[in-house]
Structure 1
Amino acid sequence: MFDHARGSWLYTKPGTAYLDFFSGAGTLSYGHNEPRLKRALIDYLERDGVTHGLDMFTTARADLMNTLSTLILEPRSLDYKIVFAGPAGATAVEAALKLARKASGRKVVGYFNMGYHGMTAGALSVAGNAERRASAGVPLGYSVELPYDLDPNGPATEVPDFDRLLEGTGRLADLAAVIVETVQGEGGMNTARSAWLRALAEACRRHGALLIVDDIQMGCGRTGPFFSFEDAGLVPDMVCLSKGIGGGGVPPSLLLGRPRAGGGAGRGG
């Protein structure tokens, strides 16, 4: 039973230290109680900053949006609207699935084997693990599984024919979106090749399906650049963010979406 924490270490009440490899499932990118983040939180509380504002506008929310736009989105020429989806990554995924269906007028979402997007019902409907899907306790519909890029030894120039794969599902005409992790965390640290991701993006564009990148586990600098899809040259229609975006362990989630996401799909290059 842990009592306090600092940096990479958790401590029991008697003071025994344990190295924390879990780190809040990737939420604590800067460690436990990082001094600058802790000071900012304390200052905010001491001035009676708003800690619960539902969907109302607050200066804290405005500061986050302005900082994200100025430091992250604008330097990358990314024109995204920011949606505050809730406290957990799964809520960002749920928001993305709802928005994709609303924007496209279609119902089916493609997902990849071994993929993981959360434990709520909608997120489980795009899970690529049979055991996790079964945990929903009810049939999960309006989704279709696709094969992930699981052959690290395959030729770099050899990518699947996504047009054929999508057509082979028999549900292409009703395909609203495809959701993908550029690096699968829960699935076993599988890394999709850039050429594979670009081929997927182009196939989505040709068929009018939206491309959703789930960057909850791998975003916020965990693969090098801020977004895990940057090296592949992608501009997804939607991006799900959580975990590291909170900094001090506070669990927000954000959904980034192109203003006209309903009119196209993620482009490569």
Structure 2
Amino acid sequence: MTITPPALSVFQTLESEVRSYCRGWPAVFDRAQGSYLHDEDGHTYLDFFAGAGSLNYGHNNPVLKRALIDYIERDGITHGLDMATAAKRNFLESFENIVLRPRDLPYKVMFPGPTGTNAVEAALKLARKVKGRESIVSFTNAFHGMSLGSLAVTGNAFKRAGAGIPLVHGTPMPFDNYFDGQVPDFLWFERLLEDQGSGLNKPAAVIVETVQGEGGINVARPEWLRALKELCERQDMLLIVDDIQMGCGRTGAFFSFEEAGITPDIVTLSKSISGYGLPMSLCLFRPELDIWEPGEHNGTFRGNNPAFVTAAAALNTYWADGQMEKQTLARGEQVERALLSIVDEFGGEGVSFRGRGLVWGMEFEDKARAGKVCARAFELGLLLETSGPESEVVKLLPALTVSADELDEGLRILARSVRETA
């Protein structure tokens, strides 16, 4: 279809230059349902972006919408800080019975401010408080958020530069396969830890994404994650898994670290935990780490009760019977076959792919081409974004509820976009 860019005068004249997504998608969106968005001019777009991973169950999911409307119509609590409410109790009981207990995870649940970066800040603060140390180790190409503590453990130079001040007490180490298999895992990290002359302060914790989303869909091997957990135990460091984008079923299992068979000390969740795109985040940790003083980490909007309502509905609808994981893995195989076909069409030259579950990336040697593919896909009615340190990866992040036919439609558009930008 042909897209005529709308008159965006108020956005251009009044909204800050910091806006970003609207630049790549010049449309005024008005309605959305399931895996589709509709703009004011009547154009329809298939969504392989899913609110940057915050809409795992699609737009305006009818089950979650009904629960939310019913709650609002009966004047349920909207703003509750950390007061005890019926909505919070229902969520906590659902989360314990459906997620934590079946996985034998004895975590305490903390409600920080409702953003992912606030959950990360809480995790870093708690790790430092528990261990009495300041240093945190992160990994190359990591992304953990845009507030100062999160930026200190983020790798992207452009995002780090926005801080405007030195970002301290964070030390990067090589992510899995950073040296293309030429260097043994954790050789450099462990050498620095054991060498009293290395200059590395003893870390309180290590923070890691099992799949680096913004970093370019870099997938850590299960054996690498297990070795990292063992290293943390040997060296008296806490292991924090940032599951903000890859949790809530994105890779198949509810938590992305389940495949590796590890139990992190601290886990952060946000994005799709509310299920409806409502702001909400969690910081989970082993009970013995719960040494917070009352109010030591708080926030005015840490008790988003409408989000508790949709979160509980999502858990009870999609996670009580185990079918969501099976469907996601099946859809992931469908994506993998399609991406393999695209790569084969080009003889494997200049393009590669990687991913797990329903998060995939296509990397182009011609780094500018990824942006061109996304632009052409938008013209054809498909929303995609780029990722990676130089935006060289086309990122596929459809809703977990996407149908096989919808997925096939989007993958055909992707293939055409790649073909037409060659």
Aligned twin of 1:191: 219
1:104 & 1:172 partners in 2: Cα distance? 13
Cα distance per residue 1:38-65 (max 9 Å; x no partner): 1000000011111110111111111111
CA gap 1:152/1:182 in 2 versus in 1, 3 angstroms: farther
- Residue 169 of structure 2 is matched in structure 1 by 142
CA distance in 2, matches of 1:172, 1:235: 25
**Number of equivalenced pairs:** 261
Match of 2:153 among 119, 122, 126: 126
Of 84, 95, 113, which residue of structure 2 is paired with 1:68? 95
* Per-residue deviation, residues 88-124 of structure 1 (Å, max 9, x unmatched): 1101000000000111111100000100001011100
Q: Identify, as 1 or 2, the structure richer in helix.
A: 2
Distance in 1 between the 2:262 and 2:179 partners?
A: 20
Q: Give, in whole Å, the separation in 2 of the partners of 1:225 and 1:234.
A: 13
The separation in 2 between residues aligned to 1:82 and 1:3, in whole angstroms, is 36
Larger Rg: 2
Q: Tell me the residue number matched to 1:41.
A: 68
Distance 1:167 1:35 in 2: 55
- Cα shift at 1:18: 1.5
Per-residue CA deviations over 1:116-171 (Å, capped at 9, x if unaligned) read 0010111000001222111111001111110001359649xx53334224346532
**Which residue number in structure 1 is paired with residue 107 of structure 2?**
80
For residue 232 of structure 1, what is the aligned residue in structure 2? 260
TM-score w.r.t. length of structure 2: 0.59
Partner of residue 20 from structure 1, selected from 47, 51, 64: 47
Question: Which 5+ residue runs of structure 2 have no aligned equivalent?
Answer: 1-27, 292-422
Is the 8 Å Cα contact of residues 109 and 282 (structure 2) preserved in structure 1?
Answer: yes
Distance 1:166 1:71 in 2: 39
Query: How far does residue 14 in structure 1 lie from its aligned partner after superposition?
Result: 3.5
Residue 211 in structure 1 maps to residue 245 in structure 2: no
Unaligned runs of 5+ in 1: 264-269
> For the residues of structure 1 that align with 2:123 and 2:62, how far apart are their CA atoms?
34
**1:53 pairs with one of 80, 93, 101:** 80
Q: Partners in 2 of 1:245 and 1:199 — Cα distance? A: 28
Q: Distance in 2 between matches of 1:151 and 1:96?
A: 25
Shift of 1:261: 3.2
1:87-98, aligned counterparts within 5 Å? Answer: 87-98=114-125
Amino acid at match of 1:120: S
Q: Equivalent residues in 2 for 1:96-175 (5 A)?
A: 96-150=123-177, 154=181, 159-161=185-187, 162-167=189-194, 170-173=199-202, 175=203
Contact 1:210-1:261 within 8 A present in 2 as well: no
What SS class does the counterpart of residue 112 from structure 2 fall into? strand
Query: Contact 1:110–1:179 at 8 Å: present in 2 too?
Result: yes
- The aligned residue for residue 178 of structure 1 is 206
Aligned to 2:278: 250
* C-alpha separation in 2, matches of 1:159 and 1:107: 24
Percent of aligned pairs with the same residue?
58
2:249 maps to 221
User: Which consecutive aligned stretches of 4+ in structure 1 deviate over 4 angstroms post-superposition?
Assistant: none
1:7 paired with 2:27, answer no
The farther-off stretch of 91-100 and 254-263 is 254-263
Alpha-carbon distance between aligned partners in 1 of 2:178 and 2:158, rounded to the nearest angstrom = 23
CA distance in 1, matches of 2:200, 2:82: 36
- TM-score normalised per structure 1: 0.92
Matched letter for residue 17 of structure 1? T
Contact 2:140 2:173 in 1 (8 A): yes
Do the aligned partners of 2:108 and 2:290 also contact (CA within 8 Å) in 1?
no
Partner SS state of residue 236, structure 1 = coil
Find the counterpart in structure 1 of residue 306 from structure 2: none
